[in-house]
Chains A and B, each alone.
Chain A
Amino acid sequence: MSNITLKVNGNAHTLDLDPSTPLLYILRNDLGLEGPRFGCGLGQCGACTVIINGAAVRSCVTPCSSVTGEITTLEGLANGGTLHPVQQAWIDEQVPQCGFCQNGQIMTAKVLLDRNPNPTDAEIREGMARTLCRCMTYYRIQAAIKRASTSMKAAGTASGHEVVA
């Protein structure tokens, strides 16, 4: 066991943990953040995705001791009371069915648009291909990503607002 300090959604937390503990279980069970979810524990599905240093990271296979940057979870994506444009697009398009995987879809799409504000259909398919949905909402997710891309350009910023990560 050792003291691990994690900065999550703007708050620092120091916990006494086995350093090999995957980040996911700490976020969920110690910090009470339910955005990232256990889907496979293998880094294959993306349900556990968080953003660290601008990258979409699969927290189920990320030892907590390896995390150096600030962690943003789904709960930290909104700016105060204003949803991130990606989240708003998800509502406008009525994307989720059960919604369990949508954390991974939203967080992965957010990073995709940060890196490529105007993705082609092919780039969206490729960028999202490893984030799985068993309700098969892919078609609507892709529509929402295009909608978010448009609204973010209209707002004059690549990412709506910056998430410090």
Chain B
Amino acid sequence: MTTFTNIPKQVEDLLEQWSGTSRRNFLKGSGLLVVSFSAAGIANPFSAEASAGGAAAAEAAGPYPHPDFRQLDSWIVIHEDSTATFYVGKTDGGQGTGTAFRQMMSDELDIAYNRTSLIMGRTDITVDQGGSGGSDGIQVDGWPMRRVAAEARRVLLDLASARFAVPSDQLAVSEGVITVKADSSRRATYGALIGGRRFNVTLTGDSINATTGVAKVKAVQDLKIVGQPLHRYDIPPKVDGSLKWAVGVAIPGMVHARNVRPPVAGARLISIDESSVRGIPGFIKVVSKGNYVAVVCEREEQAIKAATQLAVNWQKPATPSFPTSDDLYKYMRNTTPTSSPDPNVVGNPDAALASAAKVVEAEYDFPFQGHTAIGPAHAIADPSNDQLTIWSNDMKAYGLRTGVAAFLGMPLDRVRVIWMDGPQLYGRTAADDAGFEAAFLAKEVGRPVRVQWMRHEETAWDTKGPAYTFKLRGGLDAQGNLIAMDYNARAADYNHLGYNDPGTVLIAQLMGRRPSATASGSAATPSELYVIPNRRRATQVVGLPLVWESPLRTGNLRDPNGPQVTFASESFIDELAAAAHADPVGFRLALLTAGTTDDKEFKRARSIAAVKTVAEAYGWDTRSSPKPLGTGTILTGRGISYCFRNQTVVAQIAEVEVNRNTGHVWVKRLVCAHDCGLVINPEGLRRTIEGNMLYGMSRALHEEVRFDTEKVTSVDWISHPTLTHADAPATIDIVLLNGDPNPNRPDLPHYGAGEAACRPTVAAVANAIYDATGVRIRRVPFRDGRVLAALKAANV
């Protein structure tokens, strides 16, 4: 084994150049791995500060540490010029969470926002908050951020108290300056009190989410920076071209790799004819193990050419890997489930349905949909000195580190992952897979390797959100009240992938590695608080014939089950309302107000507020759906949908135009009432909701992964359409709501917003189409051909 030595200087230089973070710049007089920061491309008022004594480069040699979350110094560094750098274990997928984190921490620390900076997702210098996921960055991880910043403020007040020999309660603090209240000439800046030195304060907490010091966080009424519509710090460098992205990392000696995927799912590698690519200039190596194949070349375009040209002999599997996408739902309904958890039953739904004055039944289908990132998966790995540095946009940088170390049998402290910006994250993307591939290839080649997937790989092989079939039955009494509901959902989700699991990433699967057990997967139930006295909620999971090495592998997609489940459940509520000849808003409110008990997050009260608010914002006129059929070519209608996700409540109304000659649907207007508790940055939140709703529209109108029995046939933007500029609504209205029964309570929580707003959109669009046409579309997506066929079948 090679002797462990320093990281090559040129690598450190590049690190510094890209991110401004260098392991050579330590705090004065400490070996602590907190560093100075001057983010390249990010407006930074203090780039010249704090090389802080510049501890010797030799100290950077050590193994990559795991920062201790119970040390205040791991989270916050105050520099001599009274600026602060925050270190958090999150990543920002482009929703502005980085800006929001800075706002929350600046506020608790009592320092001007523009005197702070933030480092995220670098496993060797930021505490492990797990990266991003679950829309919980602000909802969950924001709390330890606030508490540690409040603790730093308390420590600074203590230091000032000692310096001025006055009790802390006789000191005032504002924007990083502490003043004696009785004598404003006696003042000290944060930099003068601790700049360039350690806090040396130990925090407590059983887990990182529970991290806390002694200090309490501020009451909502005392927050000044939280709530401001500050511009995101990452947008100017994204607009002027100066931002450094993971995809652009270039290291001296770096080579380029491309994968060669099996031409059909489940194929077995028989042989590779390397002579087919040896003549390509820059060709270095074919790497293969099991069914994993990649080519490595000096230049990127050479690797692309070699991957296309490499002659590989594959053996197809003897039996079909899956049904065709056209046959998928029939297959899902008829196959034996891999799991059928006991249903959740309230009351006696069978008896209630038997006694109902009217029973409504409907089936819904939702296809596999993919992340299909705008920039295909990529990663760069440097194997110097028996270590690995991986640059990645993987939202779970920490999991990537752990997974790669296990995958390659490396000590964890020899692996680090440096998160950098990249194309959208939103779940378990192929960024996980690419990180493992870059690491493996770098070890094989012995040089830094950059790997990127091609478009056809990204679209065909990226993880998929599970397809669903649904069957719902509902019973109305003679007065049109909903007395019974029977919900059955099946998800094609067997062997659902986790994040960065060394046994299930694609490269490991292709190499033949298998974990001891498959993941059971899951199907979900609706998220609403309707009071229905008799109710059954049943879920089953089904598997496809090919379980491993499949391009139809499922993983978390943005709001993993929400759009599917809510499409079915909120479409069905609309069907019931129509059967009862009731107004869709009023029908929902009746179901929400029927309850006599409330839940601890006030979700019912907040749901009622959201539904009422969205109706008011839209200008909803009370009537049942559908409206009388129009006579022109363009039919218009409106549809409502409501849900919550965790504690965030969303109600949306879509207004559509349906072209009865072409079947084309245009969502002309979207209105959203959104309650995610305390809003950190209203402008950032509004932009996130906008994009999130349009993402729901894309899933409603366009997206479907298509396949034949042996391969995915959705391979590019023609065979896998997405929303375009032509689809954008003319008007979007967003109401940021605080429906808490005590809206002014000082401890109002902040909930998540990264995923909730896409959840109800598909159903809102479907309900609007029904309102306009009287035709219920029960299968996603609502492409022109499908809608037109449904209109014709109904003689519209």
| Contact between chains at A91 and B231 (CB < 8 Å) | yes
Residues of chain B within 8 A (CB-CB) of A18 are 281, 301
Shortest CB-to-CB span from B247 to chain A, Å, is 7
Q: Which residue of B lies closest to A87 (CB)?
A: B239
| Contact between chains at A99 and B421 (CB < 8 Å) | yes
| Contact between chains at B301 and A98 (CB < 8 Å) | no
Stretch at the interface among A33-41, A51-59, A155-163: A33-41
Q: Which residue of B lies closest to A76 (CB)?
A: B241
**Which of the residues A1, A102, A134 comes within 8 Å of B722, measured between beta carbons?**
A134
In the complex, whether B518 has a CB less than 8 A from a CB of chain A is no
In the complex, whether B243 has a CB less than 8 A from a CB of chain A is yes
In the complex, whether B598 has a CB less than 8 A from a CB of chain A is no
Stretch at the interface among B371-379, B495-503, B704-712: B371-379
In the complex, whether B406 has a CB less than 8 A from a CB of chain A is no
**Which of the residues B232, B245, B695, B718 comes within 8 Å of A94, measured between beta carbons?**
B232
| Contact between chains at B240 and A87 (CB < 8 Å) | yes
In the complex, whether B382 has a CB less than 8 A from a CB of chain A is no
In the complex, whether B519 has a CB less than 8 A from a CB of chain A is no
User: In the docked arrangement, what's the CA distance between A33 and B684, Å?
Assistant: 28
Shortest CB-to-CB span from B170 to chain A, Å, is 42
Stretch at the interface among B102-110, B436-444, B725-733: B725-733
| Contact between chains at B694 and A101 (CB < 8 Å) | no
Residues of chain B within 8 A (CB-CB) of A142 are 725, 728
User: In the docked arrangement, what's the CA distance between A29 and B508, Å?
Assistant: 30
Q: Give the tally of cross-chain contacts (CB within 8 A).
A: 177
Stretch at the interface among B529-537, B577-585, B685-693: B685-693
**Which of the residues A28, A44, A95, A139 comes within 8 Å of B248, measured between beta carbons?**
A28
| A39-B239 in contact given A28-B248, A138-B723 (Cβ < 8 Å) | no
Residues of chain B within 8 A (CB-CB) of A139 are 690, 694, 728-729, 732
Shortest CB-to-CB span from A95 to chain B, Å, is 8
User: In the docked arrangement, what's the CA distance between A38 and B247, Å?
Assistant: 9
| Contact between chains at A99 and B243 (CB < 8 Å) | yes
| Contact between chains at B239 and A45 (CB < 8 Å) | no
**Which of the residues B241, B374, B687, B688 comes within 8 Å of A101, measured between beta carbons?**
B374
Chain A contact-residue range equals 35 or more
| Contact between chains at A29 and B300 (CB < 8 Å) | yes
Residues of chain B within 8 A (CB-CB) of A97 are 93-95, 424, 687-688, 691
| A102-B375 in contact given A45-B717, A94-B231, A139-B694 (Cβ < 8 Å) | no
User: In the docked arrangement, what's the CA distance between A74 and B722, Å?
Assistant: 25
Q: Mark B443-472, 1 if CB is under 8 A from A, else 0.
A: 000000000101100000000000000000
Query: Which of chain B's residues 113-150 have a Cβ closer than 8 Å to chain A?
Result: none
Interface hub of A87, A101, A133 (most chain B Cβ within 10 A): A133
| Contact between chains at A134 and B373 (CB < 8 Å) | yes
Q: Which residue of A lies closest to B686 (CB)?
A: A94
| Contact between chains at B722 and A39 (CB < 8 Å) | no
User: In the docked arrangement, what's the CA distance between A98 and B716, Å?
Assistant: 20
In the complex, whether B738 has a CB less than 8 A from a CB of chain A is no
| Contact between chains at B455 and A75 (CB < 8 Å) | no
In the complex, whether B319 has a CB less than 8 A from a CB of chain A is no
In the complex, whether A140 has a CB less than 8 A from a CB of chain B is yes
Interface hub of A39, A101, A135 (most chain B Cβ within 10 A): A135
User: In the docked arrangement, what's the CA distance between A34 and B422, Å?
Assistant: 12
| Contact between chains at B375 and A37 (CB < 8 Å) | yes
User: In the docked arrangement, what's the CA distance between A112 and B299, Å?
Assistant: 34
Q: Mark A18-34, 1 if CB is under 8 A from B, else 0.
A: 10011001001100111
Q: Mark A131-163, 1 if CB is under 8 A from B, else 0.
A: 111111111111000000000000000000000
| Contact between chains at B94 and A74 (CB < 8 Å) | no
In the complex, whether A113 has a CB less than 8 A from a CB of chain B is no
Residues of chain A within 8 A (CB-CB) of B374 are 39, 45, 47, 98, 100-101, 132-135
The 4 closest A-B pairs by CB, nearest first: A98-B94, A136-B694, A99-B238, A97-B94
A37-B247, A135-B424 given. 5 additional CB < 8 A pairs?
Answer: A25-B300, A34-B248, A129-B725, A136-B694, A142-B725
Interface of A with B (CB < 8 Å)?
1, 18, 21-22, 25, 28-29, 32-35, 37-42, 44-45, 47, 73-75, 77-78, 83, 87, 90-91, 94-103, 106, 121, 124-126, 128-142
A-B contact pairs, 14 of them (CB 8 A): A21-B301, A25-B300, A34-B248, A37-B245, A41-B304, A44-B716, A44-B718, A45-B717, A74-B241, A97-B94, A100-B423, A102-B239, A135-B94, A137-B687
